[in-house]
Amino acid sequence: MSTFFHEGSRKLQDRFETRPMADRLVEAIIGDRISPEDQAFIEAQNMFFFATVDQEGRPNCSYKGGGVGLVKVVDDQTLAFPLYDGSGMYLSAGNVLVNPHVSLLFVDFQRQARLRFNGDAFIQDDEPLQGHWPEAQLVLRVKLREMFPNCPRYIHKMALIEESAFVPKAHCETPAPAWKRLEVVADVLPPRDAHLAGHEQDAAAALNRK
C-alpha cells in the first residue's frame, strides 16, 4: 500500500474517510500481469489516451487512434503500439526519451468500460514489430508497473460512426492532412512532404468541408 499511495492521496483519503476502501481496492484490482481477458480488451480498442511527462515532471496527454489492434500485447508485462505521422513535434515520444514514466487509459465507450495501464516506455533500435503497423514511424513499448480497471459510472455510452480515413492501412494510400498544404508550413515541411506545398486552396476547401 505504502508504495502505491503517496501522502497527497492519503491526505484526501483521510479527509473523506476512504483509506480502508482504498487499501482494499489495491488488494482486489491492482495487477502487475496482463491476463488473457485484459489482452482481449486492450487489443479490441482502436484508440487510447497517452500521458507522458518531461524531464521536469510537466505532463502532456495525447490521443492515439488507429484501427482495432492499435495496441499489441507482446507478453504478460509488455505492450507495444505505433507512432504514426503527426504534427512533427514529437511531444509524447520526446518525453519518453527523457522520462520513461507513462500512463495509458483505454476506454470502451460502447461497453462503458475502462482500464488504466501505468509503466515505463522505451523505444528500441531494430524493433521487430516495426512492420506490424503500416506506415509506423516508431514503435513504443511499455513495461507494466501496475494496471487496474476503473469504475465506469461516468463513461458516456457512445457508438463508433466511422474510423478516420487517415488511419494507415496496408495496400492503401493514406491521404495527407489538409493542414500540410497551408502556406504557413509550406517552407518547413520535411522532405517526404515537400510535394504538398503550394496547394493552399485545396487545403482550405478540405478544411471547410469538415
140, 36: one domain:
yes
Residues 141 and 122 in one domain: yes
Return the residue matching grid coordinates 500540410.
Answer: 180
pLDDT surpassing 80 at residue 202: no
More confidently predicted of 44 and 201: 44
Are 19 and 122 in a shared domain? no
pLDDT at 69: 96
Residue with cell 497517452: 50
> What span, in angstroms and rounded, lies between the C-alpha atoms of 168 and 135?
6
6 and 95 inside one domain: no
Amino acid at 76: D
23 & 50 share domain: no
In a shared domain, residues 65 and 106? yes
Determine the Cα–Cα distance for residues 139 and 128; give it in Å rounded to an integer.
9
| Cβ-proximal residues to 76 (8 Å cutoff; 6+ apart), any chain | 33, 34, 35
Mean of the per-residue pLDDT values for the chain?
Answer: 93
The band of 172, judged by pLDDT with boundaries at 50, 70 and 90, is: confident
For residue 83 the three cell numbers come to: 507512432
Domain span holding position 191: 178-208
Q: Are residues 2 and 73 in the same domain?
A: no
> Is there a single domain that holds both residue 128 and residue 194?
no
pLDDT of 1 above 50: no
Q: Are 47 and 116 found together in one domain?
A: yes
Which pTM value belongs to this model? Answer: 0.90
User: Which amino acid is residue 158, in one-letter code?
Assistant: M
What value does the mean pLDDT take over residues 181-196? 90
pLDDT higher than 80, residue 198:
no
Distance CA(186)–CA(182), nearest Å, equals: 6
Query: For residue range 136-153, what is the model confidence (pLDDT) as tens digits?
Result: 999 999 999 999 999 999
Report the pLDDT averaged over residues 68-78. Answer: 98
User: Which tens digit of pLDDT belongs to each residue from 29-68?
Assistant: 999 999 999 999 999 999 999 999 999 999 999 999 999 9
Same domain, 23 and 41: no
Element (H, E) at 203: helix 200-208
